[in-house]
Structure 1
Amino acid sequence: MKSSFGLKYTLLNGGWATLEICNLDKTVTLNISFFHDSLKELAQSAIVLRSNDETSVIFMDEPGEHKLILKKSGTNIIYELRWYKDWASWNLLSEDHFETILSGTTTLPKYINLVRENLIRIRNEEGLEGYKKKWSKHDFPLNEYELLKG
């Protein structure tokens, strides 16, 4: 999956998923727990960046979490993937205690298209019921999917 920026979200069984995120130098695979609705937040990030300059996405592991920070600069997105040893989003760790795992720049259209492609692929592969069965706590982000698919 080597490219200047890539995202591949894969749903697994039992409330788990993975996200491959890469730039030209490195590919990182995140384990994602259903404790947080990460696919919905990823979809929302693509929508939010159309009109706002900054957003983030949480990917909870057990233990720890990754946080993808996205900042718009013109038509580009500057991204930073941070690793926290515990759930900073639940205030179990200071937001200042992280390690930067991956960073770089991509374009806003490329980011939105990658998120859209992942949503379309997951909906086609899993269906709404299949998604709910695998992800249990959360429904497929249908509203965000509708906003992004067109």
Structure 2
Amino acid sequence: MADTPSKLATPTDLQTNALHGVAEALNASLADAYALYLKTKNFHWHVSGPHFRDYHLMLDDQATQILGVTDAIAERVRKTGGTTLRSIGDIARRQSIKDNDAEFVSADAMLAELRDDNLKLVEGFRVVKEQAEEAKDNATSGIVDEWTDQAEERAWFLFEASRKA
């Protein structure tokens, strides 16, 4: 039987100590992205009211976009030699975005909560950006800008959709 390595050894020219902060910030953002994804799907499944179709479709589109970012975040952690989330419990321990298990949430409350949560995700991405720049991790610093822009756009759409005529 071949020896199984005890550690994942990913080649990188970046300093391991400096990357630890980047990996931690990325994993916190990844946990928040999963929490936001599931909340967005929850609200997609349970939205009701006069704008049902519009909100239902918008939330599904947003959930798909959020889920798409999760793989990119996790792969960035791995490309720089770190390890990433391993379970739902790991997500729960790291997430700062709160779950919503309420039986009923009005459509207006859903949109407002998701808007605020997307902006909270942006805050986490800003921490990633700071950590990446300190570590001279140009690739992470660059790609997090796109994730930030997407989250800001989602927040904007949620804000505009919730405005009263």
Q: Please indicate the TM-score interval, normalised by the length of the shorter structure.
A: 0.3 to 0.5
Question: So what's the TM-score if we normalise by structure 2?
Answer: 0.31
TM-score by length of 1: 0.33
Structure having the higher helix fraction is: 2
Choose between structure 1 and 2: higher strand proportion.
Answer: 1
